[in-house]
Structure 1
Amino acid sequence: MGKVHKLALAITIIGALNWGVAGIFRFDVVAQFAGGFAEPLARFIYIIIGISGLLNLGLLFDQSRNRHEEIVPVPEKA
Structure 2
Amino acid sequence: MYKLNMIDKLSFIFVLIGALNWGLLGLLNFNLVSAIFGSVPLLARIIYILVGVSAVNIIIFIFRSKKD
TM over 0.5: yes
Number of aligned positions between the proteins: 65
Using the size of structure 1 for normalisation, the TM-score is 0.73
Say which structure, 1 or 2, has more relative contact order (CA 8 Å, 6+ apart).
2
Larger radius of gyration: 1
CA–CA distance in 1 between the matches of 2:35 and 2:21? 11
TM-score (norm 2): 0.82
The answer to whether 1:64 aligns with 2:66 is yes
Q: Which has the higher helix share?
A: 2
Residue in structure 1 matched with residue 7 of structure 2 by the alignment: 4
- Residue of structure 1 equivalent to 2:53: 51
Give the structure 1 partner of residue 26 of structure 2: 23
Q: How many percent identity over aligned positions?
A: 34
Secondary structure of 1:10's match?
helix
SS at match of 1:27: coil
Match of 2:35 in 1: 32
Letter in 1 for 2:63: F
**CA deviation after TM superposition for structure 1 residue 40, in Å:** 1.0
Any gaps of 5 or more consecutive residues in structure 2?
Answer: none
